[in-house]
Chains A and B, each alone.
Chain A
Amino acid sequence: MRWYVLRRLLFAVPTVLGVITLVFFLIHLIPGDPVEVMLGETARAADREHLRRQLGLDHPLPIQYARYVRQLAHADLGRSLHSGRPVRRLIVARYPATVELAGAALAVALLIALPLGVIAAARPHSAVDTACRGLAVLGASMPNFWLGPLLILVFAIQLEWFPVSGRGGLAHLALPALTLGMGMAALLTRMLRSTLLERLRDDYIRTARAKGAGESRVLLVHALRNAALPLITILGLQTGALLAGTIITETIFAWPGVGRLTLLAIQTRDYPLVQGCILVIALSYVATNLVTDLLYGLVDPRVRA
């Protein structure tokens, strides 16, 4: 297992370097002079030169890149153009809120998908199965920027069960978590249903039934355990979609996380902050995939070979 962990860690290195390189070049995609775009055409020449020096744009590209990587090695993401505060500090202050939201969305997705997937697989092609699959299609097709306002309209404005926006206790978390987790819940339901149906055709299931195991035991103990591997894969991959989805969900619910910070930075053309936010979200995704791979190795010994 130790070698497996080491190998996976080594595989992640080129991806991390690639992500850093791409995020570095993002600022160079700005058409024209990036400093002029950030400060506006009316800025004084002295201010432009100051910002150019501050961002290191007065150096040749390879030197800029080397400096950027060196800064990152010291966990320095630069300074926000808007507030003048270190980007790292701004992100660290908001990161727990994003993790809280993504974690809650993950929990919501599992709470919806596990029972629906199992119920649908237990009675394939029945009315219950059709209803579960219909819900899954609807959940996967509804964009979260529409689902969020709909949930606000019904549960916050009409029924007044939950607050409209902001971060607080569980009540504040419910609607954003449901908005963010719905797409993942739909995918997990579909995947769990089809994987369980495949597993239920396996020989060991026939053996379990022959030995007198009840249907619920066959489904929940024998089939569900063996459906865990693809479940972990989808969970890992979809966590990335969750992280990207926080930009929209946090904007809708005024949730003070990294996603909302990203959009605010884009709107104020605070490019060092945009770069920092995108880098942190992408690296969080790489880390999640790494953990998924390690979990995979833990659950299935064949993967470690």
Chain B
Amino acid sequence: MRSRAVPTNAAATLGLIILLMLVMVALMAPTLAPDSPATQNLSEDLRPPSRAHLFGQDKLGRDVLSRVIYGARVSLLVGVVVVGISAIVGLGIGGLAGYAGGHIDELVMRLIDVLLAFPGILLAIGVSAVLGPSLRNVLLALCAIGWTGYARLVRGEVLAWREREFVSAAIALGATPGRVVLRHIIPQLLAPVLVQATFGMAGAIIGEASLSFLGLGVQPPTPSWGAMVNEGRSFLLFAPHVALFPGLAITVTVIGLNFLGDGLCNLLDVRSRDT
């Protein structure tokens, strides 16, 4: 057993360290960044990594390392806001559907079916396309699809938990439906919701980066990892570092969140997504 547990815990610890580093880098960006992310130096455009600029410079001579550091702010903000709003909305709607049942449940599930009929981030692309590119609209677009996963999870869990003896006992003692859901059922759902939130944060970060890559997300000069990869794509031959480092930052962050999610699955005894 020991040999199995150790690698999982090690991976989860690594994931937690990566997440904490992301938070620290985002919060301390002005201190950590060697330069301002917007300072241009056109005479030094597309310079490769050097001592003065560890990740090199982009087409406007801006320091890529500083932009990657500031880009962490956008990723973290999107991850936290999308997961927070989606989880709260999903808990509310999923809890209501699961507990009330009947027509309300049917209505909610059909709405979720329709939203989930749009694959991947297609709906987010559509919403961002019509609302216009901005950080606020990225958040709106990602929340519009994000809550469905939580609602489905919570509804299923509520359906299972409401049949348990302690819930029947609470109802028999005169607890109101609101109290039953808030005080007795929702605390049971924290573990699966926490796991879903960890994977959801990875999804939100990739979603924002994808929208920004397509030009539908955060607008220049605000640094976003996705937009930076898109900018660097044109200079792959002469200056691959411009696209390489922001892409690496996304990949490392997502690996960390996936490791953490898997670790939490085992730790909290939540059924893994791949079993």
Contact = CB atoms under 8 A, between A and B. Distances in A.
A153 interface: yes
- Residue of B111, B216, B255, B274 with highest tally of chain A CB at under 10 A: B274
B254 interface: yes
Contacts of B117: 15, 18-19, 282, 285-286, 289
Interface stretch (B39-47, B121-129, B151-159): B121-129
A19 B126 CA distance: 13
Contact of A195 (B126, B209, B275): B275
Contact of B120 (A142, A146, A149, A245): A245
Contacts of B113: 14-15, 18
A252 interface: yes
B122 A153 contact: no
Nearest to A23: B126
Nearest to A144: B210
Interface stretch (B65-73, B84-92, B227-235): B227-235
Contacts of B215: 267
Contacts of A282: 117-119, 122
A244 B119 contact: yes
Given A137-B258, A240-B119, A247-B125, A145 B110 contact: no
B250 interface: yes
Contacts of B4: 125
Interface in A201-244: 239-244
Size category of the A interface is 35 or more
Interface string B70-86: 00000000000000000
A262 B130 CA distance: 12
A231 to B, nearest CB: 12
A266 B129 contact: yes
A191 interface: yes
10 A-B pairs with the lowest CB-CB distances in the bound complex, closest first: A240-B119, A244-B120, A18-B114, A146-B247, A141-B254, A266-B129, A141-B255, A244-B122, A190-B274, A285-B119
A223 to B, nearest CB: 15
A125 B122 contact: no
A126 B204 CA distance: 33
Given A157-B237, A278-B122, A282-B122, A145 B258 contact: no
B236 interface: yes
Interface of B: 3-4, 7, 110-111, 113-115, 117-123, 125-127, 129-132, 202, 206, 209-210, 213-216, 226, 229-230, 232-233, 236-237, 240, 243-244, 247, 250-251, 254-255, 258-259, 272, 274-275
Contacts of B121: 244
B119 A274 contact: no
25 contacts: A18-B110, A19-B118, A22-B114, A125-B3, A137-B255, A138-B255, A140-B254, A141-B255, A142-B247, A143-B209, A143-B210, A143-B226, A145-B209, A145-B230, A149-B233, A157-B237, A187-B274, A190-B274, A241-B119, A248-B210, A248-B213, A278-B118, A278-B126, A282-B117, A285-B117
B125 A145 contact: no
A31 B130 CA distance: 8
Nearest to A22: B114
A303 B114 CA distance: 23
Nearest to B207: A143
Given A145-B209, A157-B236, A194-B275, A281 B119 contact: yes
A157 B115 CA distance: 40
B122 A281 contact: yes
Nearest to A34: B130
Contact of B258 (A19, A140, A239, A267): A140
Contacts of A157: 236-237
A184 B251 CA distance: 16
Nearest to A30: B130
Given A14-B114, A140-B254, A240-B119, 12 more contacts: A19-B118, A26-B130, A29-B127, A140-B258, A142-B247, A145-B213, A241-B119, A244-B121, A244-B125, A248-B210, A278-B118, A285-B118
Contact of B250 (A146, A150, A286): A146
Nearest to B248: A146
Contacts of A271: 130
A122 interface: no
Contacts of A187: 274
B275 A240 contact: no
A239 B122 CA distance: 13
A98 interface: no
B6 to A, nearest CB: 11
A198 interface: yes
Nearest to A282: B118
A270 to B, nearest CB: 10
Contacts of A242: 119
Given A149-B229, A149-B233, A241 B251 contact: no
Contacts of A21: 114
A65 to B, nearest CB: 15
B60 to A, nearest CB: 19
A188 to B, nearest CB: 10
Contacts of A278: 118, 122-123, 125-126
